[in-house]
Amino acid sequence: MICEFSLTPQIFDPTAHPDKTTWMSQVTHLVGDMFPRTGHQPICISDLYGGSWKPAAAAIAGACDEAVRGDVKKLFTRVADLCVPRDVEGEWPDSEDDWAREALTSAQNAFPISRIWASAACYDRLASNEYTSVADVSRDDCWNDVRPSRRVGMSIPDQLAALRPVLFHSTWIAFVSPYIHGSSSGDEMSLALEFLSAARAFQKNRAQPTPILLDIHTSLPPNPQNVIANIDPRLPVRDPTFQIRLFFWNFDMLDRYIIAGDVDNGGANFKQQRVRWIVTASHVARDQVNVRGNRDTPWQLLPRFEITRVFNDYYGTPPAISVARLR
């Protein structure tokens, strides 16, 4: 559902490509296919070397000759908006080949990268199918996994697997479901707690771990304190690596959403989150095993114009009662 691409900074450098016209067509095609007209954005971009990729690529895009500089900078600006940080893996990348190798090492050591794009010359020099040449941008098989929806299995492991890139790159996760009662280990709270566990595990291995914020949104019950009391024994032991908040809403909640992004841990106001993705889930798993006869269920990544609306539904105004801080 979410694919991560790595691009060498030299993709934006006309001097790294023998034919300027062909190069511009390839870069335009690459960026255009990452931003479909539907508004869905099922791709994120590796900000390699502790966030150093973005300024390095920006400098290259800004140094293009005047004839192409404006177009290249516009294309780069769109890409830069999708950046997600990656830790430093090796020595400072002095060349395009070094940047490609840095991406591959990060993919192998930290978390897989769906595709590592490089110039045709770099691809030829490295001679490995671990990389993809920008010359092949029009090949259908380069884009087979880039789609905003997919069917996922009705088990917690299957649904965690579908969201692994989201959980790896998020420090804030919100789970919206009208079916959080806390009365049994098999309700939909189970999946939310697995999201938290997976995100914490990813953060634990980062160079600078960040605490995870998990928000639970559900319908206002007759007695909210009973729900809180039911949930509490199932929560992990209090720890500085995470926080959990519970929101009760007094309106008809019909949909399930998984909202993810970043949190400003220094912020004290109500809207301290930066939303990056929202997935709408027709059904979610309550068990570790897919019960025989259960069919896969469709999950859909919301387009950008829908993200703001849904975010404002749950963070634009205070909930029916004060937010309960569970941990």
| Residues belonging to the chain | 327
Are both 259 and 118 inside the same structural domain? no
Residue 164 is part of a domain; what is its CATH number? Answer: 3.30.870
Are both 120 and 266 inside the same structural domain? no
Are both 197 and 222 inside the same structural domain? yes
Are both 298 and 257 inside the same structural domain? yes
Give alpha helix (H) positions in the chain. 20-34, 48-51, 53-62, 66-80, 96-109, 120-126, 156-162, 164-168, 189-204, 224-231, 304-315
Domain boundary among 117, 142, 167: 142
Residue type, 247: F
> How many domains are contained in the chain?
2
Domain boundary among 86, 116, 142: 142
Domain that holds residue 84: 3-142
Are both 176 and 230 inside the same structural domain? yes
Is 305 exposed, middle or buried, given 0-12, 13-18 or 19+ CB atoms closer than 10 A?
exposed
Domain boundary among 98, 121, 142: 142
Are both 247 and 273 inside the same structural domain? yes
Are both 159 and 132 inside the same structural domain? no
Give the count of beta carbons closer than 10 Å to the beta carbon of residue 317.
Answer: 9
Are both 84 and 64 inside the same structural domain? yes
- The tens-digit pLDDT sequence of the chain (327 residues) is 799 999 999 999 988 999 989 998 999 988 888 877 666 788 999 999 999 999 999 999 888 888 788 888 888 888 888 999 999 999 999 999 999 999 999 999 999 999 999 999 999 999 999 999 999 999 988 888 888 888 999 999 999 999 999 999 999 999 999 988 877 666 788 899 999 999 999 999 898 888 999 999 999 988 999 989 989 998 999 999 999 999 999 988 889 999 999 987 654 444 578 899 999 998 888 877 666 667 889 999 998 889 999 999 999 888 888 888 998
Are both 255 and 312 inside the same structural domain? yes
